[in-house]
Amino acid sequence: MLEVTGASKVFGGRHGVTAVQEASLIARPGEFIAIVGESGSGKSTLARMLLGLIPPTSGGIALDGVDLRRMDPTQRRGYRRTVQAVLQDPAGSLNPRKTVRKALADVIRRHAIASRKDMERVASAALESVGLFPASAFLDRYPHELSGGQRQRVLIARALVLDPRIIIADEAVSALDASVKAGVLRVMTALQAERGIGYVFITHDLPVVQKVADTVYVMRAGRIVEHGPKKRIFEDPQHEYTRTLLAAAPRL
């Protein structure tokens, strides 16, 4: 279980920008959490704290009850495997000069997942589990030789080789066309069902949230203003801001 307790992030010292203010959240394996909110509401900052990329200014992030700041190097390595990121590809998540094989091999080697001899088998299994069949047709391609949906699947496969329990996805499908997006979401929900992977899925796309989320958190101006089961949030929003968001969403 991944738990954020009253986490705040202030950028730029005492009179800086409060990007996230006293956010609390619990993410469990097998649960699909969506975080919604307008641009600038602190979603990506919360994601970066969850990934251990930036420390909270106050409050804590803990995995199975152990605070990130108290982890020894071994626990930290474990954290970096257990909690994986899938970001938006245009953000340069894949190196344009690396083949798919190299992108996966680097991760497998860095975390000592498999021997050199088993590398290809592990990489291929990950690619096929995200629907890239046969893996041999993808291993030697460069990012520019893949479609947007295929690149996003490679990013998921790269996370999967580490056997994560929770994947933090920040606008991971936002740039994709509707049918391609649906395909990538099917891969993600299949992994949730088959492997018990949990998601913290950040998006401004409410129809997607309505389709895939179990639990919804609503952020505004750095604060989580409301959270709850998807059905309750959509059918009986308690916060004025949630009502405004839902009213502005297309075709729910």
Residues near ligand ADP, by CB under 6 A? 11-12, 17, 19, 37, 39-45
Rounded to whole angstroms, the Cα distance separating 83 from 159 reads: 9
19 binds, among ligand ADP, Mg ion, none (CB under 5 to 8 A by kind): ligand ADP
Segments in 111-177 forming alpha helices (H): 116-129, 148-160
Partner that binds at residue 56, options Mg ion, ligand ADP, none, CB closer than 5 to 8 Å by kind:
none
Q: Measured from the CB atom, is 37 or 164 closer to ligand ADP? A: 37
From Mg ion, ligand ADP, none, interface partner of 215 (C-beta below 5 to 8 A by class): none
> What's the closest the beta carbon of residue 133 comes to Mg ion, in angstroms?
32
* Torsion angle (degrees, nearest 10) of CA 153, 156, 162, 167: -170
- Shortest spacing between CB 205 and ligand ADP, in angstroms: 13
Do 172 and 86 meet the contact criterion of CB atoms below 8 Å apart?
A: yes
Q: Residue 248 CB, nearest distance to Mg ion (Å)? A: 18
Tokens of 25: 């959240």
23 vs 161 by CB, closer to Mg ion: 23
Q: Nearer to ligand ADP by C-beta: 31 or 170?
A: 170
The position carrying tokens 């299994």 is 125
State in angstroms the smallest separation of the CB of 99 from ligand ADP: 31
Cβ proximity to Mg ion: between 89 and 129 the closer is 89
Out of Mg ion, ligand ADP, none, which partner does residue 133 contact, by CB within 5 to 8 A per kind?
none
Instruction: Identify which of residues 34 and 146 has a Cβ nearer to Mg ion in the complex.
Output: 34
Taking Cα atoms as reference points, which of 98, 94, 96 lies closest to residue 85? Answer: 94
Question: Which DSSP letter does residue 165 get?
Answer: S
40 binds, among Mg ion, ligand ADP, none (CB under 5 to 8 A by kind): ligand ADP
**Distance between CA atoms of residues 88 and 174, nearest Å:** 8
Pick from 158, 126, 132: which is nearest to 146 by CA? 132
Select from ligand ADP, Mg ion, none the partner in contact with residue 198, using the beta carbon and a kind-dependent cut-off of 5 to 8 Å.
none
Residues found near Mg ion in the complex (CB under 5 A): 43-44
Q: How far is the CB of 35 from ligand ADP (least distance, A)?
A: 8
CB-count exposure of residue 90 (10 Å: 0-12, 13-18, 19+): exposed
Rounded to an integer, what distance in angstroms lies between the CA atom of residue 216 and that of residue 214? 7
Q: Give the nearer residue to Mg ion in terms of CB position, either 39 or 179.
A: 39
Please state the closest distance from residue 170 (CB atom) to Mg ion, in A: 6
Q: Which residues pair with 23 in a beta bridge?
A: 7
Which residue, among 14, 23, 15, 47, has the nearest Cα to 199 in the 3D structure?
Answer: 47
